[in-house]
Amino acid sequence: RMPEFDVIVLGTGLKECVLSGLMSVNGKKVLHMDSNPYYGGECASISPLEELYKRFQVSAPSKSMGSGKDWNVDLIPKFLLANGQLVKMLLYTEVTRYLDFKVIEGSFVYKGGKIHKVPCTETETHNSDLMGMFDKRRFRKFMSFIMNFEENDPRTYHDMDPHRTTMRDVFRHFDLGDDVMEFTGHALALHISDDYLEQPCLMTIQRIKLYSESLVFRCKQLICDPSYAPERVKKAGRVIRVICLLNHPIKNTHDANSCQIIIPQTHLNRKSDIYICLLSFAHNVAAEGKYMAVVSTMVETCNPEKEVQPGLALLEPILEKFVSVSNLLIPMDDGRRSQVRTLRCALDVSTSQRMPLTACVSHLDLHLPLV
């Protein structure tokens, strides 16, 4: 008689691994498999460097790139918020016994033809050239409201209903200008469009606050990534990513060995932002003195590579680049009836700093009703 499992998880991407770990720790009998000869799925980390060149059908790297074993290139970069749900889940499942975390040196936003550091402290707010003097004072009051906000304490609402008041009205309440609204919504709350402005403010407040803290086996429920159930997902768009190998930090980032840069869509007459993720030898993902950047955005035209040129221009000179365009897939139903839960594709356009809040809320929602 074939063994029976509570849950079978197909795919070893980040979401599948977190869910598998959570259910295993909570006593579920889990079978976790992958059809690929490597772990990670679309989120795989490629090493040595020669494997990355093979994957993109590019001739072998030159000796100037250093030892191929020194490179470890994430196909989808993953920035985690230190106080986010994903980190808490990793701690809960005790996988941190096998992981080391590295802190990135800064988060930046592109505005007015320049790269600016996103202010995180009162001192940085005071010194920031993203805002004028009066806006800085209003922004401090706004951030004080955000940090003191408690969903279960109406006294912290400032006479605004977080379930009804739009985020645009919250900005108006604090008399914040368009420039402050832009970098707050895109660089702090990490929204990829301006749709959030007309939505209830609760989620955005929580985002800003978080930013600143197969053989046939039987199972009761199947969880899988989209590649295992193509008939249960639909295409929601396309994402272009360009992996760039560099021998220098990005200009105007204070020679940071790691950072993210966000180019808001309003500067580009686009519907979505362009994201840049930079890592380096300091994170053991590249040879000594070398850097690895990924430029990504949602595809809006028939010429995706042209769409990311504003981001690539900030990285010049580029030693080598690898271009990929992927479909963004989402499930067509919640799987409650069929007991086949198809996870959203991990190919989110943003750097994954946004992922812990959105993806982990989905994880929790999925985890609780499991049989």
Q: Which two tokens stand for residue 127?
A: 């010194």
pLDDT of residue 345: 63
CA 221 to chain centre: 28
d(CA 181, CA 169): 11
Over the chain (371 residues), the average pLDDT of each successive run of 10 is: 87 87 91 87 88 92 94 86 80 77 85 88 80 90 93 95 96 94 92 95 94 66 84 90 96 95 92 94 94 95 96 97 91 84 67 47 46 44
CA 201 to chain centre: 21
Q: Where are the domains of the chain?
A: 118-212
pLDDT of residue 222: 85
Angle at 22 between CA 19 and CA 25, to 5 degrees: 145
d(CA 311, CA 250): 11
**Burial degree of 129 (CB within 10 A; 0-12, 13-18, 19+):** exposed
pLDDT of residue 104: 82
If one counts every other C-beta atom within 10 angstroms of the C-beta of residue 301, the result is 8
Contact between residue 71 and residue 47 where contact means Cβ atoms under 8 Å apart: yes
d(CA 258, CA 254): 10
Which CATH superfamily includes the segment(s) 118-212? Answer: Guanine Nucleotide Dissociation Inhibitor, domain 1 (1.10.405.10)
User: pTM to 2 decimals?
Assistant: 0.68
**Burial degree of 315 (CB within 10 A; 0-12, 13-18, 19+):** buried
pLDDT of residue 98: 74
